[in-house]
Chains A and B, each alone.
Chain A
Amino acid sequence: MLSTQRAGDDSQYLLVAKLDNARSVSNILKAIHFKDTAIIFASPMGIKVTVEDAKCVQANAFIQEAIFHEYNIKADQLAFKINLTVLLECLTIFGSSAVPGVCTSLKMCYAGYGCPLILMLEEEGVLTDCSLKTLEPDEVLDFDFCSTNVVNKIIMKSECLKEVFSELDTTSDVLQILMSPDEPYLQFSTFGNAGSSHSSFPKDSEMMESFQCSKTQTNRYKISLLKPSVKALALSARISIRTDDRGFLSMQYMIKLEDGQICFVEYFCSPDEEVNDGED
Chain B
Amino acid sequence: MKFRGKLVHIGCIQHFTNIVGTISKLIKTCIMRITMDKVFFILSERIGDGGAQIWCELSQSHFFDEYAMEGVSKEDNEIYLEVHPDLLLRSLKTAHSAKWVKVKLTKKHVPCLTVEIDLPGNSIHQRLVVHDVPVTVVARKLWPDYTEPEMPKFDVSIELPQLKLLKNVVDKMKNLSNYMTLSANANGDMKLSVETDMVAISTHFQHLPNPTW
| Number of residues from A at the complex interface, CB < 8 A | 23
Contact of A215 with B by CB under 8 A: no
Chain A residue nearest to B176 in the complex (CB): A89
Among A119-127, A136-144, A165-173, A185-193, which stretch is in contact with chain B?
A119-127
Chain B contacts for A96, CB-based, 8 A: 168
Residue pairs across A and B with Cβ atoms less than 8 A apart, 15 shown, are A2-B195, A83-B199, A94-B165, A94-B168, A94-B169, A123-B165, A125-B207, A126-B169, A127-B204, A128-B203, A129-B202, A130-B201, A130-B202, A131-B200, A131-B201
Chain A residue nearest to B203 in the complex (CB): A128
Contact of B178 with A by CB under 8 A: no
A197 to B84, CA, bound (A): 53
**Are B172 and A126 touching (Cβ within 8 A)?**
no
Contact of B205 with A by CB under 8 A: yes
Further 6 A-B residue pairs, CB within 8 A, beyond A126-B169, A126-B206 = A83-B198, A92-B172, A94-B168, A123-B165, A126-B203, A126-B205
Enumerate chain B interface residues (CB-CB to A < 8 A): 161-162, 164-165, 168-169, 172-173, 175-176, 195, 197-207
A44 to B96, CA, bound (A): 57
Contact with B along A1-21 (1 / 0, CB 8 A): 110100000000000000000
Contact with B along A86-97 (1 / 0, CB 8 A): 100110111110
Contact of A133 with B by CB under 8 A: yes
Given known A-B contacts A86-B176, A89-B172, A89-B176, A4 and B204 have beta carbons under 8 A apart: yes
Given known A-B contacts A1-B195, A125-B206, A125-B207, A130 and B200 have beta carbons under 8 A apart: yes
A88 to B205, CA, bound (A): 21
Chain A nearest CB, measured from B143 CB (Å): 44
Contact of A155 with B by CB under 8 A: no
Chain A residue nearest to B207 in the complex (CB): A125
A78 to B173, CA, bound (A): 28
Chain A contacts for B205, CB-based, 8 A: 126
Contact of A132 with B by CB under 8 A: yes
Give the residue of B164, B199, B207 whose beta carbon is less than 8 angstroms from that of A90: B199
**Are A93 and B172 touching (Cβ within 8 A)?**
yes
